[in-house]
Amino acid sequence: MSIVLVGGHDRMHSEYTEICSKRGHRVKVYTQMPTRFEKVIGKPDGIVLFTSTVSHQMIHTAVKEAKRKKIPVFRCHTSSGASLEGLLRELEAKTS
């Protein structure tokens, strides 16, 4: 399953990647807004938003693309590894 993770802390990038890899998911992590963000999102199976550590513009762009491409969005206020694991379980249950 492919996932786009939006937000979080720069220092946690490798931990987010490791958590997703252990559960068998491919992940793209965006802690900062890249140029043409709407184009780099692609067509993942789900988008995870860490709302406390991301700009409103990034959230707006990600949600807009998710609606347009019918991608499920999972939001969490905290950006910890445990939060990510919980969201991944929720995503797996919803897509199975």
Average pLDDT over residues 34-62: 92
- Domain chopping of the chain, boundaries: 2-95
pTM of the predicted protein model: 0.90
CA dihedral 92, 21, 54, 96 (to 10 degrees): -10
Give per-residue pLDDT as tens, 5-33: 999 999 999 999 999 999 999 999 999 99
CATH no., domain 2-95: 3.40.50.720
- How far is C-alpha 12 from the chain's CA centre? 13
User: Where are the extended beta strands (E) located within 7-92?
Assistant: 26-30, 46-50, 73-76
Summarised one tens digit per residue, pLDDT across range 36-45 is 999 999 999 9
pLDDT at 87 over 80: yes
Calpha distance 47→62 (Å, rounded): 8
Strand-pairing partners, residue 6, are 30, 49
